[in-house]
């Protein structure tokens, strides 16, 4: 090995293994063997100069060779420590090194993936905790501050004894409730006293309940005493009067139209009878009349004491072990027929609904020019139990969550509810919660049963309807007015395509569904952008405001 002019460079000599073996078997053996003793005695200090040089070279070569052998046969321990830049690693050692690096890379990748999965699972757990979190009400509170003009005219209206308005309201309890709100506002527009509304016997549920069976009549009169005079019946001075019956009130009639149409006749005859008030009064009213709608819906229309008492007991039983969800399931047979949708249980059940619709085409209230599949994708169909279950799970509802379900028995009975009951076993309705005999006193009346559902649903921590409808709209407004309690509005049109996509993982599906509903959880929603919508569903800003020193004028 020779040093070059550049001290930083090193020259390397490669020795073949065959040469090493050859040297090992011949020269090395001869060099290591002790020589035979000569007859002439030789001194160890090499007195002869010739011999001295010869033996010195042999010893030098021997020690150099032994050093090379040491380096060649004991390489492994030197690998981690040797700075030798000429060292060539054996192929086996190279393979081992690559394998080690690959294994390290795989372990690192798996660790990252596991970490990512754990983070997603942690996020899922956080979502389950957040599921019970209430939306931010942004400081909005009820504020029914009527104008001076409204309060001044009230003095004249409540003293009038010449004009009376009679109304007959129809439909289910929540539909009747909406019409009662309209009746009070119409009476105020006409300056007439309102005779306690007559509840028409429903042809579907055959419920003969009267106003006082469902609502607290004395409370109703007291709350509205400064707005409209409420009387239980016509006075003797008007008993012989034949009321003028009006059936041709157009949809969404304005206060001006109502005055021009009815005021003269009412002043002349003293009594006006209106039927079919559903959606006859415009939802876009002057500010004072909008506040009156809220006052009737959220303050005056309180349920009768027996209903409130039992409803509160059922709610307390639901709450006894923590928070609970209330679902309004619109899965009855008539709902599937009217919406033009199918329950999706089996071909047998779908065929029953299809045949019923063919026999009674007049029952179809959905768009008749659309197929079932088109209505489904347009979000016009109620969610079935399987879809409700997937939505709740995606939004973080824990498996041990208690669920109260409102509504009539679904078409298909318990079989229709199985996807929900399997995933959420703590599943109850009023019949499950009531003690023996508690429901018997109500005679199984549909309107009173609906009122019980309303009380328990309104008291829930989370409410969600499977479809729109009067009850869902009423509770949406009620929960907003009560401080924006959590209300989930299913985004059916946007989420159903994801329900049909089986390629998504569970975690990805949940993330997409949560993103779709981040702004549909009961947050304050101003009616300003929703012209034509009922103020009792969207009470901001007509009936709620942020001013801390403004209080409701109603108790």
pLDDT in tens, 468-527: 889 999 999 999 999 999 999 999 999 999 988 888 888 999 999 999 999 999 999 999
Which pLDDT belongs to residue 223?
98
Query: Which H or E run includes 390?
Result: helix 385-394
Which pLDDT belongs to residue 80?
36
Place of tokens 């949406």: 476
Predicted structure pTM score: 0.76
Listed residue (327, 339, 345) closest to 412, CA to CA = 345
DSSP state of 531: T
Which pLDDT belongs to residue 468?
86
What average pLDDT is seen over the chain?
81
Place of tokens 């329950």: 343
> Residue 316: what are its φ and ψ, rounded to 5°?
-65, -35
Cα-Cα end-to-end distance for the chain: 107
Which pLDDT belongs to residue 508?
92
Which pLDDT belongs to residue 116?
54
- Establish whether the linkage from the previous residue to 541 is cis, with ω within 30° of 0: yes
Which pLDDT belongs to residue 45?
41
How far is residue 348 CA from its own chain's centroid?
A: 32
CA-CA distance, 540 to 379, in Å (whole number)?
26
DSSP state of 209: -
CA-CA distance, 228 to 158, in Å (whole number)?
6
Which pLDDT belongs to residue 156?
94
Q: Give pLDDT < 70 ranges for the chain.
A: 1-129, 203-205, 240, 244, 365-368, 530, 547-555
- CATH of 148-300 given 3.30.70, 1.20.120, 3.40.50, 2.40.128: 3.40.50
The residues, ordered by sequence, that sit 6+ positions from 469 with a Cβ below 8 Å of its Cβ are 174, 328, 330
| Crossing angle between the packed helical segments 91-130 and 506-516, to the nearest 10 degrees | 40
CA geometry: angle 425, 427, 433, nearest 5 deg: 135
Which pLDDT belongs to residue 290?
97
Annotated domain spans of the chain: 148-300, 305-546
Question: Cβ(488)–Cβ(500) under 8 Å?
Answer: no
């Amino acid at each position: 090995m020779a040093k070059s002019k550049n001290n930083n460079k090193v020259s390397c000599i490669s020795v073949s293994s065959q040469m090493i073996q050859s040297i090992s078997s011949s020269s090395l053996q001869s060099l290591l063997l002790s020589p035979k003793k000569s007859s002439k005695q030789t001194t160890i200090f090499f007195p002869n100069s010739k011999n001295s040089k010869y033996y010195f070279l042999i010893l030098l070569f021997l020690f150099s060779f032994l050093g090379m052998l040491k380096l060649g046969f004991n390489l492994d321990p030197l690998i981690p420590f040797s700075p030798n830049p000429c060292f060539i690693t054996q192929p086996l050692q190279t393979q081992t090194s690559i394998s080690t690096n690959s294994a390290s890379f795989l372990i690192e990748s798996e660790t990252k993936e596991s970490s990512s999965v754990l983070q997603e699972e942690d996020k899922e757990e956080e979502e389950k905790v957040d599921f019970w979190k209430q939306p931010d009400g942004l400081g909005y509170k009820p504020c029914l501050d009527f104008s001076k003009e409204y309060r001044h005219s009230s003095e004249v209206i409540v003293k009038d004894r010449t004009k009376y308005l009679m109304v007959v309201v129809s439909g289910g309890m929540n539909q009747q409730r909406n019409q009662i709100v309209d009746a009070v506002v119409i009476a105020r527009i006409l300056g007439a006293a309102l005779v306690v509304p007559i509840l028409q016997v429903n042809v579907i549920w055959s419920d003969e309940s009267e106003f006082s069976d469902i609502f607290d009549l004395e409370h109703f009169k007291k709350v509205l005493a400064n707005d409209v005079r409420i009387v239980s019946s016509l006075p003797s001075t008007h008993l012989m009067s034949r009321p003028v019956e009006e059936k041709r009130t157009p949809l969404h009639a304005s206060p001006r139209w109502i005055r021009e149409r009815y005021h003269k006749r009412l002043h002349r005859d003293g009594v006006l009878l209106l039927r079919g008030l559903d959606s006859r009064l415009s939802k876009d009213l002057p500010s004072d009349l909008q506040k009156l709608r809220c006052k009737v819906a959220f303050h005056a229309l309180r349920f009768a004491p027996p209903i409130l008492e039992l409803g509160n007991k059922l709610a307390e039983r639901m709450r006894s072990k923590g928070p609970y969800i209330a679902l309004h399931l619109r899965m009855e047979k008539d709902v599937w027929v009217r919406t033009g949708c199918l329950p999706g249980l089996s071909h047998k059940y779908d065929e029953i609904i299809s045949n019923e619709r063919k026999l009674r085409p007049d029952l179809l209230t959905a768009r008749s020019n659309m197929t079932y599949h088109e209505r489904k994708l347009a979000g016009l169909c109620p969610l079935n139990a399987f879809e409700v279950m997937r939505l709740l799970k995606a939004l973080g509802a824990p498996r041990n969550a208690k669920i109260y379900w409102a509504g009539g028995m679904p078409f298909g009975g318990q079989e229709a509810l199985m996807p929900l009951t399997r995933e959420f076993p703590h599943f109850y309705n009023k019949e499950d919660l009531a003690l023996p005999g508690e429901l018997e006193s109500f005679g199984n009346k549909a309107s009173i049963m609906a009122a019980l559902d309303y009380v328990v649903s309104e008291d829930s921590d989370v409410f969600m309807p499977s479809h729109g409808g009067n009850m869902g709209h009423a509770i949406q407004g009620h929960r907003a007015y009560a401080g924006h309690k959590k209300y989930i509005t299913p985004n059916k049109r946007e989420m159903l395509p994801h329900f049909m996509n089986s390629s998504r993982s569970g975690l990805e599906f949940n993330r997409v569904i949560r993103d779709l509903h981040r702004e549909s959880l009961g947050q304050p929603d101003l009616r300003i952008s929703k012209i034509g919508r009922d103020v009792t569903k969207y009470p901001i800003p007509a009936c709620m405001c942020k001013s801390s020193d403004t209080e409701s004028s109603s108790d």
